[in-house]
Amino acid sequence: MRLPILALLLSSFCLPAAFAATPPNIIVIMADDLGFGDVSCYGAKALQTPNIDQLAAEGLRFTSGYCSASTCTPTRFSFLTGTYAFRQKGTGVAPPNGPALIQPGATTIASLMKQAGYATAVIGKWHLGLGNPKPDWNGELKPGPLEIGFDLCHLLPTTNDRVPQVYVSDHRVLNLDPKDPLWVGDKAPSKDYPTGITERSTLRMDWTHGHNGTIHNGIARIGFYTGGTAARFRDEDLADEWVNRSKTWIEAHKDGPFFLFFASHDIHVPRMPHERFQGKTTLGFRGDAIVEFDWCVGELMKTLDRFKLAENTLIVLCSDNGPVLDDGYKDGAVEKLGSHQPAGPFSGGKYSVLEGGTRTPFITRWKGRVQPGVSEEVVCTIDLASSLAALTGVALPENACRDSFNVLPALMGDSGAKGRDHLLLQDNNGTSFGLRMGDWKLVRSKAKGKPQATVSVKTHKDAAGLHALYFLPNDPGEENDVSAQKPEKTQELIAKLDALIAADRSR
């Protein structure tokens, strides 16, 4: 009797290797600034997202799916490296001329997949810096994605409210004319240089704060640039560019296995969806951009169906942080909000460690393997590195992916599978933190002279002190601080948070 039992135990321990024998293709679709309540399968009524809804119906929809930070650069850093961004200085929102934040030799989700024999690509928004000590816009843009595990990259180098508005393909700016060199800076190149301030009356989308540097496509941006005229793109064409490039790459690698990081720019500002999506919702360009993102998801799903790959492809849909309405432009997001609740039942949004800042749509689908349904387990984008390594049978180096946990069984919807028992959440630079442990949430705010969060919809009744404690089942909106009523629980979570921050790792 012992041999059959031993064989059964060994087979269960070797489950990742069994997957690796016929490894699935993997597509991670990361939206930008998409809130928990922004899609119809999570409760949105003001618009419909049929493709995301189909993905959820055929897969597993998480109600406690998180990103690790409430702005884009630190979440993307943590997603790729499996390490909390606050552990590395300079991982706040990257400036236009920022250097590569992930250096060659670092273990990343892409390098792990490449080690497993996957073709790897990132298509879409990067915003993790290029070059060292800064980008060489007219030469080779390296180090970059190709030096950390990706075989191909086709990128928006920063984020579209920052300069420059060009594509980077592999190591170079696409379609750059050497006779028209590209210059990027943080100061106007001359006194008479037109900006969003001096030419404000000519803008087709006015700014509210910060976005008043170089004007491109009738929209002012953060920062300044000149030249590169032939390389510049139209804002309206971004989604089509990502989709078309992805379709071509998937077709070229349809015999697999492949790993695609589809990094959408929707619904980040400036929200300028393609003309065919403009006016499709009552929510202005922000709502229209959500519909455009849903279309992107649908096009990827159709491509998998066309090549009969859906049954052998794991799709993970997530967002890099929660929602924001006015993020620097007058695009109607505030005025046309109506009864729509971008963060769903949660307070806060982008820039905030409240639930609305980091709890977002999170869906997994692998037809025939992921059990369709709804999961309350806590999972996070930072865990995809360890989980996908387990799926493909790759061993993690001891000093890599220091905060990434293997939650593969939870992502697959396996019966009885558990997600995380704790999760640390940060704001942009790790000034404020949140710690979720089970049903409890501790918020630590260190911001001075301003509110704890820049909220998108609901306001937050911030505690007068440094810490606030919330019991999420009764208070998902984090409106009732119970730290005074629960001093022991508060001290327990404070000690846990201090230990996580001070440690080199949590894995």
* 14 has a pLDDT exceeding 70: no
| pLDDT for 446 | 77
Residues 206 and 74 in one domain: yes
Q: Calculate the average pLDDT of the chain.
A: 92
Query: Which domain-ending residue is among 412, 439, 474?
Result: 412
Residues 29 and 157 in one domain: yes
CA-CA distance, 436 to 471, in Å (whole number)? 10
* 6 has a pLDDT exceeding 70: no
Residues 379 and 455 in one domain: no
CA-CA distance, 253 to 242, in Å (whole number)? 16
Percentage of residues in the chain with pLDDT exceeding 70?
Answer: 92
pTM score, whole prediction: 0.93
Q: Helix, strand or coil for residue 260?
A: strand
In which element (H, E) is residue 296 found?
helix 284-306
Is the residue at 395 inside a domain? yes
pLDDT per position as a tens digit, 372-389: 999 999 999 999 999 999
Is the residue at 347 inside a domain? yes
Residues 179 and 74 in one domain: yes
Residues 389 and 465 in one domain: no
Please give the sequence-ordered ranges of beta strands (E in DSSP) within 298-392, or none if there are none. 313-319, 363-365, 373-380
Is the residue at 15 inside a domain? no
Residues 386 and 455 in one domain: no
Q: Which residues of 410-437 are buried (b: 16+ CB within 10 A; e: fewer)?
A: bbbbeeeeebbebbbbbbbbbbbbbbbb
- The average pLDDT across 73-81 equals 98
Residues 390 and 433 in one domain: no
Q: Are 259 and 235 in contact (CB under 8 A)?
A: no
In which element (H, E) is residue 304 found?
helix 284-306
Structural domain tally of the chain?
2
- The average pLDDT across 103-132 equals 97
| pLDDT for 465 | 60
Give the residue numbers spanning the domain of 435. 422-502
* 458 has a pLDDT exceeding 80: no
Burial of 307 (0-12, 13-18, 19+ CB in 10 A): middle
Question: What CATH number does residue 497 fall under?
Answer: 3.30.1120.10
Q: Which residues contact 354 (CB under 8 A, 6 or more apart)?
A: 346, 347, 348, 434, 443, 452, 453, 455, 460, 478
Is the residue at 109 inside a domain? yes
Is the residue at 1 inside a domain? no
Is the residue at 417 inside a domain? no
* 455 has a pLDDT exceeding 50: no
Query: Which domain-ending residue is among 351, 378, 412?
Result: 412
pLDDT per position as a tens digit, 28-63: 999 999 999 999 999 999 999 999 999 999 999 999
CA-CA distance, 487 to 464, in Å (whole number)? 16
Q: Are 164 and 225 in contact (CB under 8 A)?
A: yes
pLDDT per position as a tens digit, 158-206: 999 999 999 999 999 999 999 999 999 999 999 999 999 999 999 999 9
| pLDDT for 22 | 78
Q: Which residues contact 290 (CB under 8 A, 6 or more apart)?
A: 34, 38, 39, 47, 49, 266, 267, 281, 283
The C-alpha R_g of the chain, in whole angstroms, comes to: 22
Residues 430 and 401 in one domain: no
Is the residue at 497 inside a domain? yes
Question: What CATH number does residue 180 fall under?
Answer: 3.40.720.10
CA-CA distance, 271 to 289, in Å (whole number)? 7
* 8 has a pLDDT exceeding 80: no
| pLDDT for 447 | 55
Residues 161 and 284 in one domain: yes
Residues 132 and 185 in one domain: yes
Query: Which domain-ending residue is among 390, 412, 434?
Result: 412
Is the residue at 17 inside a domain? no
pLDDT per position as a tens digit, 425-443: 999 999 999 999 999 999 9
Residues 75 and 96 in one domain: yes
Residues 231 and 183 in one domain: yes
